Amino acid sequence: MTNNLNLASRPFTNRLFPWLLTVIVLFISLIGLLIVVHFTLQANRQSEDIRVDINNLRNQEKGLLEEAKKVQEGMTREQLQALEAAHQLVDRKGFSWSRLLADLEAALPGNVRVSRIAVRDVAMQGDQTVADLELTVFAKSANVITAMIADMDRAGIFQADLRAQNLQKGRGESGTEYDLAVIYRPRAGYASENVAAVQESERTKEESK
């Protein structure tokens, strides 16, 4: 004898399962909401702390600038000139002649000779030393000088502008001297073999004295 179960007239029901599932979903949603609220509040607190620190630093900077201005206003003209000279002296101490000569040797073509070089000013722009130079070079062709200036600009260490040129004759050769205004920016952390060679030569000269 076969027993037939009519599910339509006697459906299976479990009233506890839907409620349990609903409670689990609500619990997970509540935990997620609490986590989101926690991190949001934490981010807001950190943002507020950073804002307070920035305002404090700005107030300190403003106070220091005002104090420096008062000190500067109380200084005589001679004291201001001495202060400027002291700054220039500090800047010049950070200037390396051996590095300049090595960079020049690498930048100048073989058929260009340096006749005179002078440093007019040395200053610091951020962490970089910038020197204002007067450079006089001798060459037989103006095209060589034009190409040299273009190569200097591309390299980025020297920025040269032609100021004057003077025809030179005698000493067994003829050519032209070119006066250049040069801005020199040595690369940070740059040390070539030429620099080391020049420094070694300077040490040898000092030891021989």
Q: Are 99 and 188 in contact (CB under 8 A)?
A: no
Count CB neighbours of 175 within 10 A. Answer: 19
Q: Is the pLDDT of residue 142 over 60?
A: yes
% of the chain with per-residue pLDDT over 70: 68
pLDDT digits (tens, 9 = 90+) for 27-53: 888 888 899 988 888 888 888 889 888
The overall longest dimension of the chain from CA atoms, in Å, is 136
Mean pLDDT confidence for 113-119: 85
pLDDT for residue 207 is more than 60? no
* pLDDT for res 180: 92
Q: For 154-205, what is each residue's pLDDT tens digit?
A: 888 888 898 888 887 645 567 888 999 998 888 765 444 444 444 454 455 4
Q: Which two tokens stand for residue 184?
A: 């020199």
Q: Please check whether residue 122 is in contact with residue 161, taking contact to mean a CB–CB distance below 8 angstroms.
A: no
Q: For residue 126, report the phi and psi dihedrals to the nearest 5 degrees.
A: 70, -125
- Return the higher-pLDDT residue of 157 and 83: 157
Q: What would the mean pLDDT of 4-29 be, rounded to a whole number?
A: 70
- pLDDT value of residue 25: 87
Give the tokens for residue 128: 């970089």
Mean of per-residue pLDDT scores for the chain: 76
Residues pairing with 121 in the sheet: 132
